[in-house]
Amino acid sequence: MPSPTTDLPRPRKGSLTEVRAVIPEACYERPTGRAVVAVAQGALLWLAPVVLLVLTGAAWWSIGLSLLAGLGVAGLFVLGHDASHSALFGSAAANRWVARLCMVPSIHNEAAWDLGHNRIHHGFTTRLGFDFVWQPLSVEQYQALGRLARLRHRLEWSWLGAGAYYTREVWWNKMIRFRPEGKRAAPYRRNNRFLAASLVGLTAVLVAVGWWQGGPLRAGWLVLMALVIPFLVFSHVIGWTVYVHHIAPDIRWWPAREWTQFRGQMESTTILEFPAVVDVLWFHHIFVHTPHHVDPRIPFHRLPRAAAAIEQAFPDVVRRQRWSLRRYLRDTKACKLYDADAAHWVAYPA
């Protein structure tokens, strides 16, 4: 007769069960007050430059404010991303509505994001043929592309191309053109109606104010500077953020036969040390990325503590480094195409 201990399931060596076991229970606490303050901060950092854009007529001020509004859109999106993971509030309804609202300025459908990001990216992180975000091409796949597609790849995988990649591959293909079927169709349509109504309302307010201030040119200028350019700034920031989390010469992308959850979430994610002011104001510890992939239920303000516990238990696995522009430029130069058999990045063929 088996002993009681043999009847219990044991964690497989190199499994996320082992990693999650070292995370303190306190890392899963989601105080409502902390979440409300974060959302209020995010809303202020987006709305303040938008309001100042309305109040100023100086072109140079407008450009700076538009860039700040773009960072505000990114900050709200990160909070919406947390809420979409049910990691921000203890209430499922609060998470759902905050996710939808925070994703309005970035023009993202939360239901589509839930499928693409929460289910696919997190479910198959850095698995070749499955994880669609910054999925590398092989030399053979690149050579099979047409001339324009090759040029596009060279742009999008350059140091300047993160925004172009994210706007086309994630936002356009996975948000705007996406048409889910089955049980996901109804939530997607509801989110689309909510998103469309919110955007029409925002645009109408800006057009009305701009028209009152100076006619159609002023109205168009406000829409451009308060909505369009901030969206493009957001796309570049988020595209670059995902890139530095999962692309580097020493980060592997795994074929299906070798991929495991442990390898995808632990070995192919990164903890980046980023300037504290920028991190606290806009990015909400999103660069402490490994614990987020180990368990997306951890709220953003608990990620540093979770990371410390994971690093202590798995010091030879966790990948941590200080972010630098020099390293980013080096990585974008080295990471063009991927040889899965040799498990390393390769340059474009001559």
- Whole-number pLDDT of residue 11: 41
What is the full per-residue pLDDT of the chain (350 aa) written as tens digits?
Answer: 344 434 434 444 578 999 999 999 999 999 999 999 999 999 999 999 999 999 987 778 899 999 999 999 999 999 999 999 999 999 999 999 999 999 999 999 999 999 999 999 999 999 999 998 999 999 999 999 999 999 999 999 999 999 999 999 999 999 899 888 888 899 999 999 999 999 999 999 999 999 999 999 999 999 999 999 999 999 999 999 999 999 999 999 999 999 999 999 999 999 999 888 889 899 999 999 999 999 999 999 999 999 999 999 999 999 999 999 999 999 999 999 999 999 999 999 98
Helix (H) or strand (E) holding 339: strand 337-339
Structure tokens at 63: 């450009």
What confidence score (pLDDT) does residue 13 get?
56
Surface-to-core class of residue 257, CB atoms within 10 Å of its CB (0-12 exposed, 13-18 middle, 19+ buried) = exposed
CB 155 within 8 A of CB 161: yes
Go through 41-58 and write b for each residue having 16 or more CB atoms within 10 A of its CB, e for each that does not: bbbebbeebbebbbeeee
- Tokens 């899963």 identify what position? 28
pLDDT at position 276, please? 87
pTM: 0.92
Task: Spell out the residues 6+ positions from residue 278 whose beta carbon is closer than 8 angstroms to its own.
Answer: none
- Tell me, what's the pLDDT at 38? 97
Question: Tokens at residue 270, please?
Answer: 């990164």
Position of tokens 């829409």? 223
Which residues make Cβ contacts (< 8 Å) with residue 202, sequence separation at least 6? 104, 105, 227
| Cβ contact 164:176 at 8 Å | no
Enter the tokens of residue 315.
Answer: 């010091």
